[in-house]
Amino acid sequence: MRLGMFSVPVSTAIGDDTYFKPKPPRRDAEGNVITDPRNFTTKNPKKGHIDSVLFSKPEYVTIGDPYKVPARVPMRESKKDGFKAGGHELNFKPAKTF
């Protein structure tokens, strides 16, 4: 219990500098920044929308397959029991107010 103590306890994090230490800049004797050779180099990237710009030649599995017309989805053409008209088929009714 802290009876009669009116101050805030001291944080244990004060003075802890083990996190996020500043990194000193790499400089030579004259004060210039040291620039080492690159770790790896690349050529200019290939541009375009053709197969020669890809890493490897693609293999198309659909070459030579005949085209098939997709099946038509049957649509409801007549009103059946339990079907209610809605949306644009009904006249506008204002909302009920109490």
Residue 51's contacts (CB-CB under 8 Å, 6 or more residues apart) are 57, 58
Mean per-residue pLDDT, 34-50: 80
Q: pTM for this one?
A: 0.22
Q: How far apart are CA 46 and CA 53, in angstroms?
A: 5
DSSP single-letter state for residue 88: G
Computed over every residue of the chain, the mean pLDDT equals: 77
Is the pLDDT at 83 greater than 70? The verdict is no
- Type of residue numbered 72: R
The three-state secondary structure class of 33 is strand
Greater pLDDT, 14 or 73: 73
- Confidence label for 44 from pLDDT (cuts 50, 70 and 90): confident
| Interval 7-40: pLDDT, tens | 777 666 666 667 778 888 888 899 888 887 777 7
Annotate 40-77 with DSSP letters as a single string. ---PPPP-SSSGGGSSS----S-TTPPP-PPPPPP---
Q: Are 56 and 46 in contact (CB under 8 A)?
A: no
